[in-house]
Each structure stands twice: as structure tokens, then as C-alpha cells.
DNA sequence: CATGAATGAGTCTTCATTCAT
DNA sequence: GATGAATGAAGACTCATTCAT
């Protein structure tokens, strides 16, 4: 096997683990099953990863890296258009980008949430990621304002609470329960997302606008 | 041992299980530890419950029962005062009652969320409970309106999406991460709750008022 | 409960145990199940019997007692008619009595055989019972002969081997597998028994006659 | 470890299980003890076998395979000499081969009988094996006759009953209780076998000859 | 006699992890 | 890189038996 194959093998292990962790939880997933479903020998998993925990850590790190990437791309390093939209209160493109990302990553998000509710966890990944995103958001908005010569100030603590509980968590919830909602109410992802966006707009975003 | 003791023993097992499940997750909790911490013989747990799963089911059922109880008490069967408040858009007492309940029940709520994100779960408890609560809410509001000879109508699907994702889930999030937030930001429960309420008011509740 | 009921309760426990032991083996049977099926409290079983083993011992003792009873009644203490038959080589009534008994007792016989094949068992019940019966048989034949002023002599060891392996064990086998044979070959107990008797007659009994 | 070792390990587990099952019964045997006595890690047993039951099944299958092998070798595919013997009514070599086999396999035969008397067992192994052997026997005799231009006919049902209860079961009994008999009556295997053969000859085989 | 509650000592089975090749 | 074999440490669940009333 050449390097490309090796990388591919490791990736296959990771995505299989992601799938299984999201389906049955981290504790519920068996390394045996990951091996079987990934089509590799179990010992090989331990060749690539020191432990089952390290697989999870790798997935988490990758998630955080991607989030940073998306944040930078979609906000801070966003096009002048995006920045205009933000100032004009048209968050639609931003939210859409975010929802795309979240929906695509819903498997690992489920894992993160599943792990975060265990009290044993040190600093919950959710708060870690939430704070990360919100900080990025603040920065992005500030930058947008500044690029127009405007000033943006905010009560950090108040802002955080609002963003985390009424902005970030609803979006996360969409990633967690969107699938199920579609099934129960026989609604397409597109339609549900539109409904969600309307709700989000008239609640969370309305507050943004109002400020 | 008389009947009272037996009931007490079973209750002790249940609350110990609730505690451990919430701390390390359902899979992470050991029946041995539940027994040890509850001060009972392990076999006794299996005398009262067919399996570890049945302990969880019992906790879930009890939660749902309590929620129904609270709902009825605080809304549909509420005092005229409560009903007046609803019509006047003063949801504070209602929300407070709810947050009290949720904060008190945060241990089991964490378990529910932890289990709900596993795809294997049939109909996620969260959606079950969420729908239950929202239906109760609708009924309560309708009843409040009708008692004043007013009419209350709502687009059910739209209402559900809004209530679930931007109303129910933020409240759940408060139960999930309130503790951690307090620790990280060195803020008391009372203060955090006030902040949360203000955020909730200017986002979710504002939409209610606006309708 | 008066004494009659108490006896009845104990009997019910015994017959339920006999049934379960024969169905799933001694090890496979649960005291819990005996209690449930007998409709008594589990602790009550321990009031009547010191242990699960003692239930088995009681069943075994009762079996041996009954065998002795039957033997005496049907052979040694048999009517002159029976004794005539024996001398004339007409074992039919004797064999019939025996098969009746065995078929009726097939449940406990299954238990005895099941236990006897465990090497750990001290002296196998089977050999104990087998020897008991064969000794009785010898005595009965001798007595029949003597009552007619005839003499009956036998090479004990040779007789024992023949009686045990080609006489006693086929009869036991009938008790063990008669039920199943009926089911598989769709044959009534009456017909199977007739076939068995013919086979037994032309093999084992023929040798008796020939002597 | 190479493949040869692996096979050897699995075999060791099987023969240890066979030994223990025959000593204390299937239910009485502990997987822990099998592991300890086979000198392997307990988990390794579950690497090779899905469950304790599967160990038993494997032993049973192997027994049936061996029986088929012996049958073919000793009868249908037997030498002309063997076939001559059968026609001449000299079953000694055949019976000897059979008794050798049975005595060698007495451990697993005890297990089979022990399990077969449990009503829960589907189609009792004993009847399965018994029928298998008897069918093979019929075939072998028929073939011997035909090779000499002779005709062999038989009433199947009658033949089966005779062979099973007065031929097969006494032989089985010898495997079950031969050991014990030797101990009780202080007789060598060789002598007991001779006695058994004489008894078998003048009962079961005499009927064969007479036909 | 009778019972619900309680227990100690297993018993099978699982699982993350490692070893030898 | 890759694999079949092997292992230590638990884990859920069971069961005969006893206790208190």
C-alpha cells in the first residue's frame, strides 16, 4: 500500500468511527465494529490511533479546525458583499452557510452533544465550540462595521448568553433533531430549513436587528 | 422490612441511578456502582428492575409524568392570574416555573438528551417531550383566551418549529449547560437565570408578543 | 391452612419440581420457577426443603419406595396366576405392569438418567435402581419356582449384565424416548408399546425362555 | 502463533469442554474452568466460539461426522470380509468396531444423553443419531446381501423399534455405565465387554439371526 | 405457614488493548 | 502496514439461599 492508500485507510477508520459514535454513542460503539465496518483489521486501528479515545479526540480536533476554517472563510474573511449583508441585517447567507455546515456535520455534532452532557467531561466541547464560534462572530461583525468606518460595541456577557442559548443552541438543535423532524412531519430538509429560518429570524435575529 | 421501606429502597436506587447516569452517561454507569452508592445489594436492583434499561425507562416515565403534572398545574389548570398574565404577554411566572422545574430536573434531562442523540433511539424522547409540552402550551393559551371570550388560532406546524427550536431547546440548553456556565463565568444561578430570561424575552418571547 | 393443605402444598412443590427438573434438567431448573409454577412463595420451598438438592433427594427416595412397592406387589407378592405366568415364560403381564409404571414415572426417570450421566455423581442412581429391580426380579422368579417345588439357579454376574443392559435399559429407553418416538413416527402409545413388546419379546425375553 | 497452533488451541478448548461437560454436565461446567484447564484465556474461548452453547454444538457436529465416517468405513464401504460376516450372521467384528468407537467416545455420549432427556431439546440428538446409524446399518446389510445376489427386505418401522430400543440403546448404555460397572464389580473392560457381547448376542443378535 | 425483601457468590459474556509474525 | 491470536479487567445479570415479619 502506498501513502495515498494509507491516508485513505485512516480516513475510512475515522469516518466509520464518526458514523458509529453518532449512531450508538461513544461508549456504545465497539472498536470491533468500527474495524469490521471500515474493512480493516482491528489491530490496525491501534496502529493508527493510540486508543479509542484518541479516535474521538481526532474527530473533535478536525471539527474545531473545520469550524475555524468555515468561520474565517464565511465571516471574517468574507467578501465585501457578505459584510454588507451583515451590516444591513441580512444574515441569511451567513446563516445558510452555517446551517449547511451544521447539517453536513450533524453526525459529529451528535457525538459532541452526547459527550458534553456527561458531567465527567472537563470543559464541555459544546461551550468550547460555542464560545469559539461566537467570538468569531463578534470579530466578524466588528470587522464588517470597521470596514465601513462604523463602530461596534457590545456587552460581552450579555451578548454571549443571548448568542449561546438563543442563537447557537437552536442551530445545534437543528443539527440534532432535523433528521427526525423531517421523518415525523414528512417534510423535506429544504422546507424545514426554511421554516426554521423564519422562526430563527423572527426570534433570535430580530433581536440582532433591533439592537 | 415494611412496605414503606421497600418503596424507599426502590426510590433510592432510582435517584442513585439518575445521579450516575447523568454524571457518566447511561453506558458509562455501572450497576455495581449504583448498588454500592445506593447502599443496596446488586441483586436487589434486579429484584426491582428487570434490567439496567428498565431503570432508565422508569426514570423517563417518571419525568414525563411530572412534566404533565407541572404543565397542568401551571397552565391549563392555572389560576385566573396566571391566565391573565399569559394573555397580557407576561410569561415571566410561566417561564420561571418552567425553569425551576428544568433546573431541578437537570440531571435526568442530561440523560434524556444524551440518549436522544443516539440514532438507535426510536422516537427521541426529546421530540416526544417537546411536542408534549408545546401541545400543552397551546392548549393553555387557547384556554386562557377563551376564558376571556377571545379567540386564539395558530398555524400548528409553524408554531411547533418556533416553539421547539427557539423556545423549548434554549430552555433545555439552560438545564444542560447552566451549571457549567456558572462555573466558567463565575456567575450565580440567580444572575444567570436573569440574563437568560432577558435574552429569552427579547428573542423568543418577543415573537410571541408580536403575534 | 390445615394439615391437609400443608401436605398438598408440599406435594405440589414436589410435582412441580419433578416436572421442571425433567424438562430442563436439575441444574437448568430455577427454584424461582418452581415456586412460581407451584403457586407458592419461594421461601416456603425452603421451609419444606433444606435445599434444592433435598427436593431432588426426596423425589429419588419416593421413586425408590414406589419401585419397591410395585415390585413387591407385582412379583414377589404376586398372585399365583402371575407366578404361573412367569414359570410358563409369559412375561407379558409383568412387563406390562412394568411399562405402565415406567411410562407413568417417565418424568423422574428422565431426571435420574440426566443426573446419572454426570461423572461427579457418586453411585449412579441408575445402577442402584437397576440392581434393586433385578434383585427383586430374581427373588420373584426364585419364589415362583419354589412355590412349585422347582429349583431356580443363576449365574449372578452374567444374569445381571444381561438384565441390566438388554432388559432394564431398553425399558428405561422406552420411558425416555417413547414420547418423542410417538411424535416423530405418528404412532399411539398403545401401538408403540405393542411394537416395543414384540421387539423385547423376540430379543431379551427370548433369551429368558431359552434358558 | 502460526495456524497449526491456532488449530491446536481450538482443539484443546473443545476436548477440555468435552471432558468437563461429561463430568459435571453442560449446565454444571463453568467456562472459567474450561479456560483454566485448557490453559487459555477465557476471552479466547469466546474468540473461537460465540457462546457456551456453540461449544456444545461443535462437539455434537463433530460426533455426528465421526459416526458417519465410522459407519461408512465399517459397513457400506467395508471389505468383502466384513460383508461376508454380516451375511453369515457374524456381527462380532462390526459390534466390536462399534463398541470401540462408543467406548472411546463415551464422554461426549454421556453429554448427548444428558441433554437429550431434557424436553426442551428440539429433536433429541439420540434419536437423530440412532436413526442415522440404523439407516446406515440397513443400507450396509442390504448392500452386503446384494453383493451376493441376495435380496434383503425389512419392515422399516418394526426394524427401527427393535434396533433402536434393543440394539442401539444397550450399546449406548454400555458407553454410559460401563465405567461404573467395572468399578462396582471389579471387572476389566475386556471381560465386561465379553460378557456384554454374550448377552447382546443371545438377545438382540439372536433375533437378527433368526430372521 | 407464608411472604416480600435482601444478599453473596458466582456465571456468562464483552471489550479495549496488545503481541507475534 | 497489516493480521490472527491472545489477554486482563471488567460488565450485566442470575441464583440458591436467608431474614424479618
Sequential DSSP letters for B45-96: HHHH-SSHHHHHHHHHHHHHHHHHHHHIIIIIT--HHHHHHHHTT--HHHHH
C82 Cβ contact partners less than 8 Å away, ≥ 6 residues apart: C74, C75, C93, C94, C144
Provide the grid cell at C78.
Answer: 404376586
- Whole-angstrom CA distances from C207 to A33, C137, C202, D68 are 65, 15, 8, 32
List CB contacts (< 8 A) between D187 and chain C: 157
Nucleotides of F under 7 A from a protein CB: 1-21
Q: Which residue of D has its CA nearest to C202?
A: D207
B192 interaction partners in chain A (CB closer than 8 Å): 161
Q: Tell me the three cell numbers of residue B75.
A: 397552565
Q: Higher model confidence: residue C91 or residue D105?
A: D105
CB < 7 Å to strand F — which of 8-27 in chain D?
A: 9
- Whether B51 sits with its Cβ under 7 A from any strand F atom: the answer reads yes
Rounded to whole angstroms, the Cα distance separating C122 from C127 reads 11
C-alpha cell at C62: 419416593
pLDDT category of residue D129 using cuts at 50, 70 and 90:
confident
Task: Report CA dihedral (D16, D18, D24, D27) to the nearest 10 degrees.
Answer: 100
- Which residues lie below 8 Å from residue D134, measured CB to CB, with a gap of 6+? D159, D160, D163, D164, D167, D168
Q: What number of other Cβ atoms are within 10 A of residue A54's Cβ? A: 13
Chains that touch C (3 or more CB pairs under 8 A): D
Give the tens place of pLDDT for each residue, C19-33: 999 999 999 999 999
Q: What is the rounded average pLDDT of the residues C107-112?
A: 94
Is the whole-model pTM more than 0.85?
Answer: yes
- Rounded Cα gap, residues D130 and D124, in angstroms: 10
Q: Which residues contact B109 (CB under 8 A, 6 or more apart)?
A: B63, B102, B172, B175, B176
- Roughly what angle, to the nearest 10 degrees, separates helices C52-71 and C3-24? 100
Mutation target vs C (from D106, D117, D181; most C CBs, 10 A cutoff): D117
Is pLDDT of C78 > 70? no
CB count in 10 Å sphere of residue C27: 18
pLDDT at A50: 96
Cell 440518549: give the residue.
Answer: B115
Q: Do chains D and A touch (3 or more CB pairs under 8 A)?
A: no
Are D101 and D162 within 8 A, CB to CB? Answer: no
For D59, the grid coordinates are: 462437539
Residue of higher predicted confidence among C137 and D20: D20
Q: Which residues of A touch B183 (CB under 8 A)?
A: none
For E6, nearest residue by CA–C1' is: B44
For residue D95, pLDDT beyond 70: yes
Q: How far apart are CA A30 and CA A11, in angstroms?
A: 18
Of B28, B184, B206, the CB nearest to A206: B206
Question: What pLDDT, on the 0 to 100 scale, is given for residue B131?
Answer: 85
C-alpha span between D64 and D133 (Å, rounded): 10
Question: Between D106-116 and D52-71, two packed helices, what is the crossing angle to 10 degrees?
Answer: 120
Distance C133 CA to E10 C1' (A): 40
pLDDT tens digits, one per residue of C162-180? 999 999 999 999 999 999 9
The C-alpha atoms of residue D126 and residue B101 are separated, in whole angstroms, by 65
Chain D residues 137-196, Cβ below 7 A from strand F: none
Rg of chain B in Å (alpha carbons): 19
Q: Cα(D161)–Cα(D141) distance, rounded to whole angstroms?
A: 17
- Facing residue for A185 by CB, picked from B157, B169, B198: B157
Handedness of CA B11, B16, B20, B22 (dihedral sign): positive
Using C1' positions and the CA of A1, the closest nucleotide is F1
> Average of pLDDT values for D120-126?
73
Rounded CA-CA distance A105/B162 in Å is: 23
Q: Read off the C-alpha cell for B11.
A: 426510590
Q: Is the pLDDT of residue D78 over 70?
A: no
D89 conformational bin, left if phi > 0, alpha if psi -120 to 50, beta if neither: left
Distance of D17 CA from E13 C1′ (whole Å): 17
Domain coordinates of chain D in residue numbers?
Answer: 1-49, 52-210
Least confident of C113-122, C200-209, D91-100: C113-122
The CA R_g of chain C, rounded to the nearest whole Å, is 19
> Which residues of B are less than 8 Å from A176 in CB distance?
116-117
Residue D211 has pLDDT above 90, yes or no: no
* CATH class entry, domain D1-49: mainly alpha
Closest-CA distance, A128 to chain B, in angstroms, reads: 11
Distance from C-alpha of C200 to C-alpha of C185, rounded to nearest angstrom: 19
- In this prediction, residue C74 carries a pLDDT of 66
Report the protein residue whose CA lies nearest the C1' of nucleotide E11.
Answer: D30
Q: Is C36 helix (H, G, I), strand (E, B) or coil?
A: helix
pLDDT tens for the 211 residues of chain B, in order: 455 588 999 999 999 999 999 999 999 999 999 999 999 999 999 999 999 999 999 999 999 899 888 877 766 566 777 777 777 777 888 888 889 999 999 999 999 999 999 876 667 888 888 888 888 888 878 888 888 888 888 888 889 999 999 999 999 999 999 999 999 999 999 999 999 999 999 999 988 765 5
Residue nearest to nucleotide F7 (CA to C1'): D41
Pairwise CA distance, residues B187 & B182, whole Å? 5
Say how far apart CA D55 and CA A81 lie, in whole Å.
70
- pLDDT for B145-193, tens place per residue? 888 888 888 888 889 999 999 999 999 999 999 999 999 999 999 999 9
Number of CB pairs, chain C paired with chain D, less than 8 A apart? 158
Check the CA dihedral C55-C60-C63-C68 and report its sign.
negative
Cell of D11: 482443539
> Distance (Å) from CA A128 to C1' F5?
42
Three-class secondary structure of residue A27 per DSSP: coil
- CA D190 distance to own-chain centroid: 19
**Cell numbers describing residue C150:** 422347582
- Give the span between the Cα atoms of B106 and B177, in whole angstroms: 9
Instruction: Please tell me the distance from the alpha carbon of residue A46 to that of residue A55, in angstroms, as a whole number.
Output: 10
From C13's Cα to the closest Cα of chain D, the distance in A is: 20
The pLDDT of residue A1 is 46
Q: Closest nucleotide to residue C29 (Cα to C1')? A: F15
Q: String of b and e for C137-175 (b: at least 16 CB within 10 Å)?
A: bbebbbbbbeeeeeeeeeeeeebbbbbbbbbbbbbbbbb
CA distance B74 to A50: 53
Measure the CA–CA gap between A41 and A58, rounded to whole angstroms.
19
* Nearest by Cα to C71 from C140, C168, C129, C16: C140
Spell out which residues of chain B touch residue A157, defining contact as CB-CB under 8 Å. 185, 187, 195
Q: List the nucleotides on chain E closer than 7 A to a protein CB.
A: 1-21
Residue identified by cell 423556545 is: B167
d(CA C166, CA A189): 79
For residue D50, say whether its CB is under 7 Å from any atom of strand E: yes
Helix (H/G/I), strand (E/B), else coil: C24: helix
Tell if A42 CB is < 7 Å from nucleic strand E. Answer: yes
Q: State the DSSP string of D33-89.
A: HHHHHHTS-HHHHHHH-SSHHHHHHHHHHHHHHHHHHHHIIIIIT--HHHHHHHHTT
For residue A140, the model assigns a pLDDT of: 77
User: Between chains, do D118 and C25 touch, taking CB under 8 Å as contact?
Assistant: yes
**Does residue B11 lie within 7 Å of nucleic acid chain E, judged by its CB?**
no
List chain A residues with pLDDT less than 70: 1-4, 74-79, 82, 120-122, 209-211
pLDDT of the residue at A3: 53
A210 to chain B: which residues are within 8 Å by CB? 202
B109: exposed, middle or buried (C-beta count within 10 Å: 0-12, 13-18, 19+)?
buried
What does the longest C-alpha to C-alpha distance in chain D come to? 59
Report the distance separating Cα A188 and Cα C82, nearest Å.
90
All 3 cell numbers of residue D4? 497449526
B198–A158 C-beta distance less than 8 A: yes
C-alpha cell read off for B72: 397542568
Minimum-distance residue to E3 (CA–C1'): C41
Note whether A25 contacts B24, CB cutoff 8 Å.
no
Please determine, for residue D133, whether its predicted confidence score (pLDDT) is greater than 70: yes
Rounded, the Å distance between the CA of A117 and C1' of E9 is 36
* The predicted structure's pLDDT at residue D120: 63
Could you count the other beta carbons within 10 Å of the beta carbon of residue A105?
A: 18
Grid coordinates given for A193: 430549513
Band of pLDDT at residue C146, cut at 50, 70 and 90: confident
Q: pLDDT value at position A133?
A: 84
Contacts of D72 (CB under 8 A, 6+ apart): D136
> Does C210 have pLDDT greater than 60?
no
Among D115, D108, D171, D160, CA closest to D138: D160
Task: Please answer yes or no on whether B180 and A28 come within 8 Å at the CB atom.
Answer: no
Which residues make Cβ contacts (< 8 Å) with residue C170, sequence separation at least 6? Answer: C196, C200, C204, D165, D166, D169, D170
Q: Which nucleotide is nearest to D32 (CA to C1')?
A: E11
Answer whether A60's CB lies under 8 Å from A125's CB.
yes
| Residue whose cell numbers read 419364589 | C143
| Residue D29 φ/ψ region, left for φ over 0, alpha for ψ in the -120 to 50 degree band, beta for the rest | beta
Residue D1 CB in 7 A reach of strand F: yes
Please state, in angstroms and rounded to a whole number, the distance separating the CA atoms of residues A202 and A206: 5
Out of B23, B116, B174, the one facing A118 most closely (by C-beta) is B23
CB contact under 8 A, C180 and D111: no
**Contacts (Cβ under 8 Å, ≥6 apart) of C81:** none
Res. C3: pLDDT tops 60 = no
- Tell me how far the alpha carbon of residue B12 is from its chain's centroid: 21
Amino acid at each position: 500500500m502506498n501513502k495515498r492508500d494509507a491516508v485513505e485507510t485512516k480516513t475510512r477508520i475515522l469516518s466509520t468511527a464518526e458514523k458509529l459514535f453518532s449512531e450508538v454513542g461513544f461508549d456504545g460503539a465497539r472498536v470491533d465494529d468500527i474495524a469490521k465496518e471500515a474493512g480493516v483489521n482491528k489491530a490496525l486501528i491501534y496502529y493508527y490511533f493510540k486508543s479509542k479515545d484518541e479516535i474521538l479526540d481526532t474527530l473533535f480536533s478536525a471539527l474545531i479546525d473545520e469550524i475555524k476554517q468555515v468561520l474565517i472563510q464565511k465571516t471574517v474573511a468574507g467578501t465585501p458583499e457578505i459584510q454588507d449583508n451583515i451590516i444591513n441585517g441580512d444574515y441569511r447567507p451567513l446563516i445558510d452557510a452555517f446551517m449547511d455546515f451544521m447539517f453536513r456535520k450533524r453526525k459529529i455534532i451528535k457525538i459532541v452533544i452526547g459527550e458534553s452532557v456527561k458531567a465527567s467531561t472537563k470543559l464541555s466541547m459544546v461551550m468550547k465550540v460555542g464560545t469559539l464560534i461566537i467570538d468569531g462572530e463578534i470579530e466578524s461583525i466588528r470587522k464588517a462595521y470597521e470596514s465601513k468606518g462604523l463602530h461596534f460595541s457590545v456587552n460581552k456577557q450579555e451578548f454571549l448568553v443571548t448568542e449561546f442559548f438563543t442563537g447557537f443552541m437552536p442551530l445545534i438543535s437543528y443539527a440534532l433533531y432535523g433528521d427526525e423532524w423531517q421523518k415525523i412531519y414528512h417534510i423535506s430538509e429544504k422546507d424545514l430549513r426554511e421554516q426554521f429560518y423564519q422562526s430563527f429570524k423572527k426570534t433570535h435575529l430580530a433581536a440582532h436587528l433591533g439592537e
